Structure 1
Amino acid sequence: MELSKKRIVVKVGTSTLTNEEGFINIRQMDRLCRVLAGVENMGYDLVLVSSGAIAVGAGKMRLSQKPKELRMKQAAAAVGQLELMHIYDKFFGEYNRLVAQILLSNDDVQDPERRENLSGTLNALLENHIIPIINENDSISHTEIESDKKLFSDNDMLSAVVSVFCGACKLIILSDIDGVYDSNPRTDPGANLICRVENIDEELRSVAGDSGSNRGTGGMMTKLDAAELATKHGIDVLVINGNDPDKIYDILDKKIVGTLFVGKKLH
């Protein structure tokens, strides 16, 4: 598929959307929606891949800790997904933007007929300036939660799959740190940010470490996996700190932000 220079996928993780207690970070979500509405208003096709359903659901259900049993995780996802979409709809509506929910499973991408239907839905939404908000269908699918037979593995990989599927030119992954470092910045004060990556090799994987939070499922290794898939299809991938969504504007202004994984040239 030919890449669209005006199509961007943004992935936001649980740690960006919630606070330490697991409740929605209202102020942060408002800032994110304001920026994304501004980006869409600049003429970009915008697709949002959003995590957070299980954590938000667990918080709303007043569970004392993140659920460990599959059926409780799926129950929390069902509660949390509703809450997330309610907040997204409210905030994007404040900025005069419409949103739609798409919940995916492996079959939706792998089955030819479902894939064609999904493509049609996505394109119809984008043509009508509606922002699709995508997550895996956790309430009925267990692949992201705990299966070894995963297509997406987690929402970092889901965002890469979506980027390839819809022909995006950029994938922007919002994390809870500034990008990829040469060692774990949480334990090593001398860690240096890697601003540009041309090739994801074993050396990079060995020094990147894992910096996932207790509210999300992904760490830096899942972001490297996602970047590897997307860059093979010519898509630039950027990992930036989601605490400052305005940096998305800097990316579009071609400023150096976070870590850029350079998409391979397609022949």
Structure 2
Amino acid sequence: MNKRNLDAKRIVIKIGTSSLLYQDTSKLNLRSIERLAFVLSDLKNQGKEVVLVSSGAIGVGMGRLGLSKRPDTIPAQQAVASVGQGELLGIYEREFQHYGKSVAQMLLTRDVLVYPQSKKNVFNAFQELLKMNVIPIVNENDTVSVDELDHKTKFGDNDQLSAIVANLIDADLLIMLSDIDGFYSGNPLSNPSAELYHTITNIDGSIIQAAGGVGTKFGTGGMVTKLKAAKRILKNHQKMILANGKNPRIIYNILAGDPVGTLFEPFLNQKKLSRKKD
């Protein structure tokens, strides 16, 4: 299969909770975080601009507090997220420091990107951090983002947030790392004949129908939320790749143009939809 031509300098990388935690023990996957820090630091050394959108605050908080089940009430979720966010950022800071890189925490709510002035302020903050050679680490501010608030503060999931950030800073590419190899025609866990799509240029009814289910007990995402993010990316004439984040070094393969994962890109002079061939 031909190499992809991505030519990406400004990159948003979203990593899901499932890539940060061991599902059996609910503890941090330190090897995965170490590899992620290594790869992103190396990308910075290559002259690329990198923004990391990281899930995991509630999952890390659950592990820290010894909880086996995600809390049901919003106040409890806020409390657990507060515990987890601090620990998660501390680990990121230590790992990136090994490679001489500085990180900055950015906790966002939807309302700051709705109002023009606050949106401009967020954009300016991103621009300055990237100029300073800092890696922004973005998460939703779970301690204040709740559905019940009168103004719309909640993004709903970090898949959507990563696409919004990519739109805001006009990124060349959004890399979404999850616990699945890409987008399939069905659930590969229950349907062995499900096919992995190599490229998707339009999200129509058949694509939406193929998506289903929710994320892990630690996260809020699922394939539907990833499609919503991809739809936003396509609408803004940008590119997104959904790939397996078990080993973050897959980012090297993606940027080298290797045909891994599923590429969502606007329709050009190509077939509307192509499937990966074995």
Shorter-chain TM band: over 0.9
Pick one of 65, 80, 101 that aligns with 1:97.
Answer: 101
**What residue is the counterpart of 1:177 in the other structure?**
180
Residue 212 of structure 1: CA displacement? 2.2
3-state SS of the aligned residue for 1:28? Answer: helix
**What residue is the counterpart of 1:205 in the other structure?**
208
In structure 2, list runs of 5 or more residues that go unmatched. Answer: 1-6, 269-278
Hey, what's the Cα distance between the residues in 1 that align with 2:122 and 2:41? 23
> Taking structure 1 as reference, are residues 229 and 140 closer, same or farther at Cα in structure 2, changes over 3 Å only?
same
Amino acid at match of 1:138: D
The equivalences for 1:146-157 within 5 A come to 152-157=155-160
* 2:122 is the counterpart of 1:118: yes
**What residue is the counterpart of 1:32 in the other structure?**
36
3-state SS of the aligned residue for 2:9? Answer: strand
Residue 208 of structure 1: CA displacement? 2.8
**What residue is the counterpart of 1:258 in the other structure?**
261
Q: Is the 8 A contact 1:235 1:264 kept in 2?
A: no
In structure 1, list runs of 5 or more residues that go unmatched. Answer: none
> Taking structure 1 as reference, are residues 147 and 26 closer, same or farther at Cα in structure 2, changes over 3 Å only?
farther
How high is the TM-score relative to the length of structure 1?
0.93
> Taking structure 1 as reference, are residues 222 and 148 closer, same or farther at Cα in structure 2, changes over 3 Å only?
farther
What's the Cα RMSD here? 2.0
The equivalences for 1:1-267 within 5 A come to 5-20=8-23, 21-143=25-147, 152-210=155-213, 212-263=215-266
Hey, what's the Cα distance between the residues in 2 that align with 1:150 and 1:228? 21
Q: Is the 8 A contact 1:47 1:132 kept in 2?
A: yes
How high is the TM-score relative to the length of structure 2?
0.89
Q: Is the 8 A contact 1:152 1:161 kept in 2?
A: no
% identical equivalent positions: 44
Q: Is the 8 A contact 2:51 2:137 kept in 1?
A: yes
Point out the structure with the larger helix share.
1
Which segment is superposed worse, 64-73 or 206-215? 206-215
**What residue is the counterpart of 2:271 in the other structure?**
none
Residue 37 of structure 1: CA displacement? 1.1
> Taking structure 1 as reference, are residues 208 and 90 closer, same or farther at Cα in structure 2, changes over 3 Å only?
same
Cα deviations by residue, 1:96-150 (Å, 9 ceiling, x for unpaired): 111000000112111122111111111010001100000010012214x999957
Cα deviations by residue, 1:148-190 (Å, 9 ceiling, x for unpaired): 9576221000000000000001000001010000110111122
Amino acid at match of 1:191: A
